[in-house]
Amino acid sequence: MADHYFSAEPGSADVRRTVEARIWGREYTFTTATGVFSRDRLDIGTAVLLREVDPPTGSGTFLDLGTGYGPIACAIAVEAPEAQVWAVDVNTRALELTAENAKAAGVADRVYPVLPDGVPADVRFDEIWSNPAIHIGKAELHKMLLLWLARLAPGGVARFVVGKNLGGDSLQRWLTEQGYPCDRTGSAKGFRVLRATNAGPSPS
């Protein structure tokens, strides 16, 4: 059976290559591999998200949900030199690559590639960034998003990029219905860029 990029342990041979990407005016060379999401280039959705949203600066605790080989996590850590970035994925090969790419970008001390249960329970996020794995199915997607949105700090922001034909508009409505007011802040190449906020009290 073919690997999915959301496979925990890819069964394919670990064949590595590098891809070039320009993010927020900086040039990056990322190491990728078979068995991870978009191994041949920076995927279009992620590129749209990073182009439509200005880089964060300063301090804060960030989550890159579904990090893949880590382009979002690495770029945030580079742009925000006091930030702590948790890079979460279910794919262990992706986490290995994220660690390697964070080291190459000089931010390995502030990027933490972990499995979902590797984030300490008391960590709260000022921002969540994600090109979520829509193909896991709507029920699993909603479960995953609610799990992590509950860890968004009061006043925190979640940024998502979702294909219009994969339910970007309906996800915007659903997020608002769940108590995370959501606006569309960008639209390009068939993708929606969404911004959801946590206006409620801190979770107990």
Range of 72's domain? 43-197
Residue 37 lies in a domain: no
Where residue 171 sits, what CATH number does that domain have?
Answer: 3.40.50.150
Residue 12: pLDDT band by 50, 70, 90 thresholds? low
Residue 116 lies in a domain: yes
Global pTM reads 0.88
In terms of Cβ atoms closer than 10 Å to its own Cβ (0-12, 13-18, 19+), residue 159 is buried
Alpha-carbon separation of residue 56 from 7, 72, 83, 89, 168 (angstroms): 30, 11, 9, 21, 23
pLDDT at residue 5 is higher than 50: no
**Cα 19 from Cα 15, distance rounded (Å):** 13
Residue 147 lies in a domain: yes
Domains identified in the chain, total number: 1
- Which alpha helices (DSSP H) does the chain contain, by range? 44-52, 71-79, 92-104, 138-149, 168-177
**Residue the block writes with tokens 């670990």:** 14
Residue 97 lies in a domain: yes
Residue 2 lies in a domain: no
What is the structure's pLDDT at 170?
Answer: 84
167-199 tens-digit pLDDT: 667 888 999 999 999 999 998 888 999 999 997
What is the structure's pLDDT at 6?
Answer: 46
